Chain A
Amino acid sequence: MSVAVVLPSQLRALAGGRGRVELDLQVPGDQPPTVAEALEALRRMHPAVYERIVDERRELRPHVNVFVGREDIRWSGGFQAPVPPGVELVVLPSVSGG
């Protein structure tokens, strides 16, 4: 199935200038892919984008937010949250900073 990842402006240059990346995922059974599976597919296609979202420990960077639709994965299952068909994965920088 296909999952669309929406990227913030700061990361688009690392994805060939695109703000929306379509990922094709091979997922066994009828279960929707997880965020982890989608990000792994993103890593294969655009490793530099992945590294700016996930650190060396495979943890979400502290000031990056990932949403499944409108749900922040930090509060809805983390990397194991499912990405239902037709729902976008949205990457956004947080509002932190000075």
Chain B
Amino acid sequence: MPQDAMGIEGTTGDTLLLLGTTKGAFLATKAPGERGWKVDGPHFPGEEVYALAVDARRGSPVLWAAPGSPFFGTTLRRSDDLGASWSDPEARTIRFPEDSGLALQRVWQIRPGRAEDPDTLYLGVEPTCVFESTDGGASFAPVDGMLNHEHRPNWTPGKGGLCLHTILPDPSDSGRMGVAFSTGGFYRTDDGGASWQPRNTGVRAEFLPDKHPEYGQCVHKVAHHPSRPERLFLQNHWGLYRSDDWGDQWTDIANGVPSDFGFAMAVHPQEPDTVYIVPLESDGFRCTPDARLRVYRTRDAGASWQGLDRGLPQQDAYETVLRDGLDCAPNGSGGGVFFGTRSGKVFASEDGGDSWELVRDGLPPVVCVKAATLA
């Protein structure tokens, strides 16, 4: 039997990692200057946890998790005490309307809303939809404009399912939000979710006869920095792109990477033009190129990329980092970067990616990493 998860003790300045795996969630903490990580878990043993979030908009951190039983469905759980206890699983708050003909398969993303709306929380789910809560997560409803989108019959699932995995609210405009899903591409609303338009011009669909359809792309992740929300970075199923106008146009930025195939992408917490990715060899061989585990970083918005490998295995490293397996958090030394692999390894960098340390090995396959610095 797995050991009991006790939750963690954290103080101001500690780095907190939420690690979702296919067999439960783990929490890890490290104080500034301390050697080694404290790891707690598994929480929800036996259940897949593809979505986790830390919400600190009201001061003290609230942890969110969406464990999914392979048999009995997915729930949304909340912890106000850093994992010492979780909310009652009895209330199932995420349900498609019965007349929609849809049934929840998995929660892929938990996204707190804007700072000005501390009771707003968004979920990205499979089959593709956005759910919104305006009461702090007590209840959720599907966003009608997405639920009833005219393109829905044409959206088709990728290998991971028809998953909406990216939600990007505009910090400066309450009506604007971008979402991405596989397959379908990047969509944006400018009217608070009433309508959603595909924004994929320039993004190719390598797997379709028409390489540049209006929609239908297999976008794996989109990221931006809150201080410059209109500048988006996109990791595609083949292709790395940037948009400077909230997705109206996309430009190829695969300049000097070993492959433009990959899943994960994250933006540095303090530098809007610094982005991290983990390239994979191909869609046919979804492992790190040359069996070397390297994170790639751009500091000039994609004009150039630098491989980062100090402290990472460079031999026989057939690793895969999935779409939510990479995240950043601010720290005193200029940016913590963290990722987990499908082989159950978790790595951390406290110097913006220049060097890495192993946080933990031997976990179940890691599918989600979320990082925060405790305030």
Chain A residues with CB under 8 Å of chain B are 10-11, 14, 48, 51-53, 55-59, 61, 63-64, 93-94, 96-97
| A93-B71 in contact (CB<8A) | yes
Which residues of B from 72 to 110 have beta carbons under 8 Å from A? 72-73, 89-92, 95-98, 100-104
A–B Cβ pairs within 8 angstroms, 28 of them? A10-B71, A10-B72, A14-B89, A14-B90, A48-B89, A48-B90, A48-B92, A52-B69, A52-B71, A52-B73, A53-B72, A55-B73, A56-B96, A56-B102, A56-B103, A56-B104, A57-B98, A57-B101, A57-B102, A58-B98, A61-B71, A61-B72, A63-B70, A63-B71, A64-B71, A64-B72, A93-B71, A96-B70
* Alpha-carbon distance A52/B69, docked complex (angstroms): 9
Chain B residues with CB under 8 Å of chain A are 69-73, 89-92, 95-98, 100-104
B103: A residues at CB distance < 8 A: 55-57, 59
Among A11, A53, A56, A93, which residue has its beta carbon within 8 angstroms of that of B98? A56
| B95-A56 in contact (CB<8A) | yes
| B92-A61 in contact (CB<8A) | no
- B371 CB → nearest A CB, Å: 28
A10: B residues at CB distance < 8 A: 69, 71-72
A53: B residues at CB distance < 8 A: 72
| A94-B97 in contact (CB<8A) | no
A64: B residues at CB distance < 8 A: 71-72
Among A14, A55, A97, which residue has its beta carbon within 8 angstroms of that of B70? A97
* Alpha-carbon distance A93/B72, docked complex (angstroms): 8
* Alpha-carbon distance A10/B67, docked complex (angstroms): 14
* Alpha-carbon distance A55/B98, docked complex (angstroms): 9
User: Of all chain A residues, which has the CB nearest B100?
Assistant: A56
User: Of all chain A residues, which has the CB nearest B103?
Assistant: A55
Among B71, B89, B90, B104, which residue has its beta carbon within 8 angstroms of that of A94? B71
* Further 6 A-B residue pairs, CB within 8 A, beyond A10-B69, A55-B104, A63-B71: A48-B91, A52-B73, A56-B96, A56-B100, A57-B98, A93-B72
A51: B residues at CB distance < 8 A: 73, 92
A48: B residues at CB distance < 8 A: 89-92
* Alpha-carbon distance A58/B103, docked complex (angstroms): 9
* Alpha-carbon distance A71/B104, docked complex (angstroms): 28
B97: A residues at CB distance < 8 A: 56
A52: B residues at CB distance < 8 A: 69, 71-73
A14: B residues at CB distance < 8 A: 89-90
* Alpha-carbon distance A53/B72, docked complex (angstroms): 6
| B90-A61 in contact (CB<8A) | no
B95: A residues at CB distance < 8 A: 56
B71: A residues at CB distance < 8 A: 10, 52, 61, 63-64, 93-94, 97
* Alpha-carbon distance A56/B102, docked complex (angstroms): 7
* Alpha-carbon distance A55/B101, docked complex (angstroms): 10
* Alpha-carbon distance A96/B69, docked complex (angstroms): 12
- A21 CB → nearest B CB, Å: 15
User: Of all chain A residues, which has the CB nearest B96?
Assistant: A56
- A49 CB → nearest B CB, Å: 9
* Alpha-carbon distance A97/B96, docked complex (angstroms): 25
B98: A residues at CB distance < 8 A: 56-58
* Alpha-carbon distance A64/B69, docked complex (angstroms): 11
Greatest chain B CB density within 10 A among A53, A55, A56, A97 is at A56
A57: B residues at CB distance < 8 A: 98, 101-103
| A61-B102 in contact (CB<8A) | no
A55: B residues at CB distance < 8 A: 73, 103-104
User: Of all chain B residues, which has the CB nearest A57?
Assistant: B103
